[in-house]
Structure 1
């Protein structure tokens, strides 16, 4: 069976937004239709298909022309918004999976390799789908508006999303249509396919923060393809944690949002030779940094309250000023979180995320205006980038224990870039056992240096937070918390954490030396 390509842009919304889209003038079509979908996803008990990046779905479609049952195998996708993946479809006679029809698909190969185990239902979907074909730009786009639910043994999950599927033309037109729709309807870039959502519900991780996934890179990948894969992974990481933070304000989700943003900005920097001919790259990078600047304040307060102040209170619970400091900074954190939520809820932010993925997938850097660097082998490109970063850390980290806080911070930033680069390019060095071992050893040594530099940075941040407290204007008689006591306690905390500086500096200097002794995995 020959695979077809499904290029589909997913946009999350709520029921009111879906109704607005149904009446949107850009989506009017004389050929509009409606269908009810009942779908069930299947896998082995061991999850062999999931492990291979595949999904098996059997879907019953009840429409005006009658009913049919379609069995589909989909290849996984690690991007955000744009789902460009292979799929194998066949009409089958009944509601159960047709094992014979799987023989010409990757699912059939996987099942044979693991001994032809039984496959069983994982979860089901019930979807009311309105669809209409539209023309936009030079492309034909199938627009579907889905509303329904995912049914699992762990509970149901509402589904409300729009899908724009390219049936003919240029993927850039998908994004142009999405951007036009976003001007009047608050849509967010989708990060999970329905099957992925069902699995997340079963695993109990839909509402939990998630760390960055490994970027899948093959040895034959070009530098341009590597950048696109890395950037997609960063946006996916961002959107998964953004959804969690908007739902429950989880501090770890905020932290992972910031990690995703730093990784994305680092990707722009590491791949600068690939993007050099497209000025939009620098514009997007700077805009991401500008818009998300308030996120840093919220995260710094999280770290201070939970990792610096909390242990101090545990050690000296009788110190009333520490409790006043916690209350004072707790109120500051609430204001900082409100600022973050205001950004994430804003149209400018939603539009910026869609602009990013549109540029990644269809920006000028991918066309004739791109640089020759984009066509280089990713492995050669990675070696040059990583070697340059290592040399920079070697030079800037000399006498690390004698550097001032600003100089150490610069070393820390370079170490982060090298760490992200090592993670981004890991897939290129995963095919030989020797390379995997060298990569693991290098990243471990780099992580130690980062940990010590991060602890030193937390100390500097603690000083900044204490120095940033407003001077007392009233006493405890004016109400709780007492600003004077809080200010005094902030000084005590700063003095306590400062006492750790000498040992951390020595540890960081040693970690720097140890890193330089580890054989670089890219050589």
Structure 2
């Protein structure tokens, strides 16, 4: 048995030649043979192996055929660790009896399983590999280009795998970070097998788990809390990416983009709170935040597409207004594809920097001895966040629409602090305090919707300027009343 420890990165094919040149030119790099590999993955009609969290594959190269079974492993941030068993084979069909008996669950009937096996999907690719020594460790870098094939459907493969052959896991990250300095990459969450099962229609649709508040460690350890916050943010970031790829619904895309930005902001806040936000990582965050500015108008206009009756009421010209909004939203989404983000070198560099911090935290490399216990730490963060809101929108000030737009990010970040540490507090007091601020955040989006509607209808035959002014004035009146009441509420921490 081998314990496979690897880091996977996805990249775009226009950078293939640059990657090969980079890896060939690295010191202590030994190029390996370029091989064409065909891989058939097997399971039963009822996906018995999948239910046991096992994967069965036959791989064929020019001079070998082998069967591999991988058992349940772990993924932390982007590091995959999974036991695997490899056995040489002389035919194109698996022979389960060749694997050690301890591989199988006690209830497994190997003969029955063998009889029911069928090929579910294939992954065929060309692999170019290098052995690279770094920091006293040996890493195999495999660059795979090809395709996943299932049910007549094809999904392209263009990925880099860093597998630890000997030494420390940190070497995988340091080598990947070096690659990311030269080539735009992103973390690869889904294995080829997962992509194959998905393409074959044997995996349920990806779902983003609803989290009201992050589940913090029961021992209230600050180090473990940092680990949970980092892992939650990195994991959700990758899930949201996958959902954005698969989602065509515009309103749903707008919500996903908002949640992706929330992950990025939460991760930045977490690093800042724990004193881990250095200048390089801060620059990465700033570049990505700048690229995500389209989310504000997308959020605002999508409110109208999501609930037109609520925002437009009984206006008879809504059939003229909604197409204008739809066109604007479509343009925003089309001009801001994920591929644009993936071309930013800072995107992959930030993801890898976060995984490195997560690995160091899990290994106990961050000494947080000067921090108070978690409850006091959270109270301090909540108070600091609250004071910033008080300073941004003092109770004595009258705020107009522009004022609210300018404090939107500060309010969003304050709400995220409460999201991260909220489970430490009594729910009734917490929700009573947070509700008006969440309503204000929605109000700011709605104000943005009215302002964008005014611009969209300026050049059209629809004249709703007076109506929009009345709606905005009415909403501002309600928001001002809600804000001043909320500022008088007793904090729950």
The residue aligned with 1:60 is 58
CA distance in 1 between counterparts of 2:49 and 2:70 reads 16
Residues 288 and 346 in structure 2, CA contact (< 8 A), matched pair in contact too: no
The residue aligned with 1:31 is 32
In the alignment, structure 1 residue 494 sits paired with structure 2 residue 472: yes
Residues 141 and 164 in structure 1, CA contact (< 8 A), matched pair in contact too: yes
CA distance in 1 between counterparts of 2:485 and 2:119 reads 49
The residue aligned with 2:82 is 86
SS of 1:481's partner is coil
Q: Report the CA distance shift for 1:503/1:422 in structure 2 as closer, same or farther (over 3 A).
A: same
In the alignment, structure 1 residue 481 sits paired with structure 2 residue 460: yes
CA distance in 2 between counterparts of 1:164 and 1:354 reads 16
Counterparts of residues 429-444 of structure 1 (less than 5 Å): 442=427
Counterparts of residues 31-430 of structure 1 (less than 5 Å): 31-42=32-43, 45=46, 50=51, 55-77=53-75, 79=77, 82-91=78-87, 95-96=93-94, 98=96, 101=99, 103-105=101-103, 108=105, 111=107, 123-138=120-135, 139-152=137-150, 155-182=153-180, 185-201=183-199, 202=201, 210-211=208-209, 223-245=222-244, 250-270=250-270, 272=272, 275-276=274-275, 279-280=278-279, 283=282, 286-287=285-286, 290-307=289-306, 309-313=308-312, 315-318=313-316, 320=317, 322=318, 325-326=321-322, 329-330=325-326, 332-334=328-330, 336-337=332-333, 340-341=336-337, 343-357=340-354, 359-361=356-358, 370-373=366-369, 382-388=374-380, 413-422=413-422
TM-score by length of 2: 0.72
CA deviation map 1:319-376 (0-9, x unaligned): x3x556545555554554466448515324434444433542567x7889733349x9
SS of 2:240's partner is helix
Residues 180 and 345 in structure 2, CA contact (< 8 A), matched pair in contact too: no
CA distance in 2 between counterparts of 1:123 and 1:160 reads 21
The residue aligned with 1:433 is none
SS of 2:54's partner is strand
CA distance in 2 between counterparts of 1:78 and 1:383 reads 26
Gaps (5+ residues) in structure 1?
Answer: 426-438
The residue aligned with 2:441 is 457
CA deviation map 1:276-315 (0-9, x unaligned): 26635872685266434504323333443324545344x3
CA distance in 2 between counterparts of 1:246 and 1:298 reads 21
SS of 1:276's partner is coil
CA distance in 1 between counterparts of 2:105 and 2:281 reads 45
SS of 2:460's partner is coil
Moved more, 329-338 or 209-218: 209-218
Gaps (5+ residues) in structure 2?
Answer: none
CA distance in 1 between counterparts of 2:82 and 2:446 reads 50
Q: How far did 1:41 drift?
A: 5.0
Q: How far did 1:395 drift?
A: 9.5
Moved more, 351-360 or 124-133: 351-360
The alignment yields a C-alpha RMSD, in angstroms, of 5.1
Residues 217 and 224 in structure 2, CA contact (< 8 A), matched pair in contact too: no
Moved more, 92-101 or 302-311: 92-101
Residues 209 and 253 in structure 1, CA contact (< 8 A), matched pair in contact too: no
CA distance in 2 between counterparts of 1:185 and 1:396 reads 38
SS of 2:53's partner is strand
Moved more, 175-184 or 54-63: 175-184
CA deviation map 1:193-249 (0-9, x unaligned): 22332344425666x673468989875796435434532432332233335436666
TM-score by length of 1: 0.68
CA distance in 1 between counterparts of 2:263 and 2:419 reads 10
Counting matched residue pairs gives: 471
Residues 124 and 150 in structure 1, CA contact (< 8 A), matched pair in contact too: yes
Q: Report the CA distance shift for 1:60/1:291 in structure 2 as closer, same or farther (over 3 A).
A: same
Q: Report the CA distance shift for 1:164/1:408 in structure 2 as closer, same or farther (over 3 A).
A: closer
